[in-house]
């Protein structure tokens, strides 16, 4: 096992009161030579200030084009046990609901076939199993499959859809994010396992505007639960919040992004026509305020982190969609969107970048959605609401600029 003298730089990361991944890997190294070499290679990287991993290559198991991320050491002479150190992405149970026996099964399989090191959960949402050899990939997958697990997405494919815990635990859930996520995962199996897209495509579902999976910032296709109609107010409970010390004017009304509420010390009034359903007031006074009765989802498009181009936030394309199984309207829309993207995108161009390049107007026409006021981010800045050239009667000789 690695000791302090072998990894002096990493040892510093064990200091302090917070959890340490070095401590965890050292624990794994007592059983697994792979974990020991991992530590030693990492120490070398800290010392030389250079990474020693080679990425890329193998993609999966028989019939799959994703779910495995190939990783090799560029110093197998020094660290033979991490010569191959592949990652497996395992599709997580929707909403990350496990029983402990499922977790034990997962860990037993990984102890048998891999380094024993896990990342539960990666930012994709998957259960990430870190470090195995090429020979163990297929047997590991077979064991996972027999235990009811499947691999997640990687590469130019639909990534594992993810959702917040939704109605499983949360009173604010406007939609059954768990069921939607499960239904989309089953519907788009081929798109997850057989990469045929220009680049990655992510679907994330939050059951309310609190957006606990940060779908609005991360997903190419974002589903966020919302409601129609007025926020339901229990004035007695509002008064109880005031009596308990909540400064309703300062904390609720003044911080409302659209200033759509007033408080006279006795009664709270909400001008629902100005409400953007951000959840701020409901979060502060959950006993007093409840969402409107008609529930559904807002569909947004095009978020991404900065890689080829800068970061983008999602953009509303459908202000309100009813969400009832089997979610045909949503699935049809996703297929149209993915078709347009596949037809038009450059290689490694995310959907949001394509819309930015070709215009929202063309996107909306291609997927058959009408432009609506809720799409507007700022007045007079959204070119897709302009008329199409053929709709304009121009004087002869005047062409569109």
Binding site for another protein (CB under 8 A): 55-60, 63, 65-66, 69-70, 72, 84, 87, 134, 154-157, 194-200, 307, 342-343, 345-348
CB of residue 38 vs another protein: minimum separation in angstroms?
A: 18
Residue with tokens 């917070």: 18
Based on CB atoms, which residue is closest to another protein, 157 or 180? Answer: 157
Residues 6+ apart with CB under 8 A from 115: 28, 32, 34, 35, 38, 85, 130, 131, 132
CB of residue 59 vs another protein: minimum separation in angstroms?
A: 4
Question: Is 207 in contact with 295 (CB distance < 8 Å)?
Answer: no
Based on CB atoms, which residue is closest to another protein, 63 or 389? Answer: 63
Distance between alpha carbon 350 and the CA centroid of its chain, in Å? 15
C-alpha 165/C-alpha 168 separation (Å) is 6
How many CB atoms sit inside 10 A of residue 385's CB? 16
DSSP 1: -
CA distances from 324 to 1, 297, 331, 342 (A): 55, 10, 12, 28
Q: For CA atoms 362, 363, 365, 370, give the dihedral sign.
A: negative
Burial class (CB in 10 A: 0-12, 13-18, 19+), 163: buried
CB of residue 143 vs another protein: minimum separation in angstroms?
A: 22
DSSP 75: -
CB of residue 351 vs another protein: minimum separation in angstroms?
A: 14
CB of residue 154 vs another protein: minimum separation in angstroms?
A: 6
The structure tokens listed for 207 are: 């059951």
Based on CB atoms, which residue is closest to another protein, 238 or 345? Answer: 345
Indicate the Cα dihedral angle 158, 99, 327, 170, nearest 10°: -110
CA distances from 49 to 10, 20, 264 (A): 13, 20, 61
CB of residue 70 vs another protein: minimum separation in angstroms?
A: 7
CB of residue 100 vs another protein: minimum separation in angstroms?
A: 30
CB of residue 151 vs another protein: minimum separation in angstroms?
A: 13
Nearest to 91 by CA among 220, 168, 192: 192
Indicate the Cα dihedral angle 315, 320, 322, 323, nearest 10°: 30
CB of residue 347 vs another protein: minimum separation in angstroms?
A: 4
């Amino acid at each position: 096992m690695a000791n302090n003298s072998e990894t002096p730089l990493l040892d510093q990361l064990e200091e302090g009161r917070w959890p340490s991944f070095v401590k965890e890997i050292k624990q794994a190294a007592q059983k697994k030579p792979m974990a020991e070499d991992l530590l030693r290679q990492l120490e070398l990287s800290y010392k030389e200030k250079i990474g020693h991993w080679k990425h890329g290559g193998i993609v999966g198991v028989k019939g799959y084009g994703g779910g495995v991320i190939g990783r090799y050491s560029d110093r197998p002479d020094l660290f033979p046990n991490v010569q191959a150190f592949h990652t497996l992405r395992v599709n997580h149970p929707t909403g990350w609901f496990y029983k402990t026996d499922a977790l034990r099964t997962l860990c037993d399989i990984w102890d048998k076939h891999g380094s024993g090191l896990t990342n539960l959960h990666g930012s994709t949402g998957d259960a990430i199993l870190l470090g195995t050899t090429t020979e163990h990939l297929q047997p590991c997958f077979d064991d996972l499959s027999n235990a009811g697990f499947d691999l997640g997405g990687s590469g130019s494919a639909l990534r594992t859809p993810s959702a917040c815990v939704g109605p499983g635990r949360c009173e604010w859930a406007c939609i059954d994010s768990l069921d939607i996520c499960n239904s989309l995962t089953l519907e788009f199996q081929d798109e997850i396992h057989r990469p045929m897209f220009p680049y990655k495509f992510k679907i994330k579902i939050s059951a309310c505007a609190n957006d606990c999976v940060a779908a609005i910032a991360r997903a190419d296709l974002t589903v966020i639960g919302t409601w129609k109609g007025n926020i339901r107010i229990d004035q007695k409970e509002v008064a109880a919040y005031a009596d308990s010390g909540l400064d309703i004017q300062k904390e609720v009304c003044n911080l409302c992004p659209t200033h759509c509420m007033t408080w006279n010390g006795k009664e709270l009034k909400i001008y629902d026509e100005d409400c953007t359903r951000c959840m701020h007031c409901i979060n502060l006074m959950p006993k007093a305020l409840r969402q409107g009765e008609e529930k559904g989802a807002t569909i947004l498009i095009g978020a991404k982190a900065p890689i080829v181009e800068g970061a983008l936030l999602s953009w509303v394309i459908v202000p309100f969609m009813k969400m009832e199984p089997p979610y045909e309207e949503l699935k049809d829309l996703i297929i149209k969107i993915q078709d347009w993207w596949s037809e038009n995108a450059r290689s490694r161009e995310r959907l949001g970048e394509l819309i930015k390049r070709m215009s929202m107007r063309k996107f909306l026409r291609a997927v058959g959605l009408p432009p609506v006021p809720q799409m507007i981010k700022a007045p007079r800045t959204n070119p897709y609401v302009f008329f199409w050239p053929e709709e304009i009667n121009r004087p002869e000789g005047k062409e569109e600029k």
